[in-house]
Structure 1
Amino acid sequence: MSIRVKICGLSTPETMAAALEAGADWIGLVRFPKSPRHVDLDAARTLSAQARGRAERVVLLVDPDDAALDAALEAIDPDLIQLHGVETPERVAAIRRRAGRPVMKALGVASRADLDRISAFAAADRLLLDAKPPSGAVLPGGNGRPFDWTLLDGADLPSGWMLSGGLDPLSVAAALARTGATAVDVSSGVESAPGVKDPDRIAAFVRAARAAG
């Protein structure tokens, strides 16, 4: 089974090219000003055009209002919307209706009880299981922290779920073997500094993930 890979938080044409050349299935553009990976709408438009037809384009939004959603849709024309805030199931469904395209909801995991929320998000086309941010963290994701993968043992996970949280080229094979995930998402694990993607690490991550599959 081929493992699908998302490289999130791309912000320059050079690192976008590296992700595309490595064969990433999804590329992620972050629209969250507090993040070091945030891109403005003009840059996002250019990067999205660069990836068009070569990888699925994902825009990451955090609790967007309708105006922010509409602006991202117009500039990026994403293939998938990733919601990484505290959006309710009702809001996820409303965003999906308004956007008219698939939505992925990120859920933070720190305990088995966090998995009980999965069934509520049936409106989402995909679920991304990420490490719950530490107390006081500014970012809802991209903190370079894994969660305890044993929490997924015996869990009823929906088709197409994606694993995130603290993955890097050295850990992704073990993560895939332990969890049975068929799709992975990486951001800080392929950076040389916060928000600075490393082309060599991007290529190594994709190679490692595909080899593990």
Structure 2
Amino acid sequence: MTASNELKSASELGRFISFEGTEGVGKTTAIEALCARLQDNGIDYLRTREPGGSPFAERLRSILLDPATSIDDDTELLLLFAARCDHMQQVILPALSQGTWVICDRFTDSTIAYQGYGRAHGDSVMLTKIDTLIAQFIPQLPELTLWLDLPVDEGMARAGKRSVADRFEQQASDFFMRIYEGFSALADQHPDRIQLIDANGSSEEVNARIWQVISARFDLS
């Protein structure tokens, strides 16, 4: 963050909120509902996503999600962070400095869960690589992360009803079980930042749970 941003008080800066979860948990629907609620409350917001969020990062997203892409785990990791670094510098930090709330579909927790646990089975070497990249290139993490918690099998069944599976969605179920373990480990490690949201039930019920957490955290009506 620039020196001018550091001079701003917390009340002048926007809030940074991320949504996480395995496939098919309903992040898109939940984010749409939250953005509508923020608008109703007169709160300026920016909705974005990862990988992607900036023109350059969106080009990398198309490569990362393309089933025809064949790369090793380290290359995948570095492409994700190249996209994230540009996204952060070009989109997220400028928005926050203007007092805009940033609502992001996935952030660093997804990399830890997908690449650290899904790809690398929780290998300490890969997790250390990820932590190092975060420390070096990501100057600000979300202050609140909403983990939409749903059994993996149920989420995969929902995801299977969507369009053609991307490069990650084509993985076997045990890959997503390891991802779930990663999110669970992260929630245990960061209880102040990561809030588990029960993603079972109707969208209205899930949205109400999310708003209850956000309104309490940020003192909204």
Task: Output the TM-score relative to the length of structure 1.
Answer: 0.37
RCO higher in 1 or 2 (8 Å CA, sep ≥ 6)? Answer: 2
Task: Output the TM-score relative to the length of structure 2.
Answer: 0.36
Q: Which has the larger radius of gyration?
A: 2
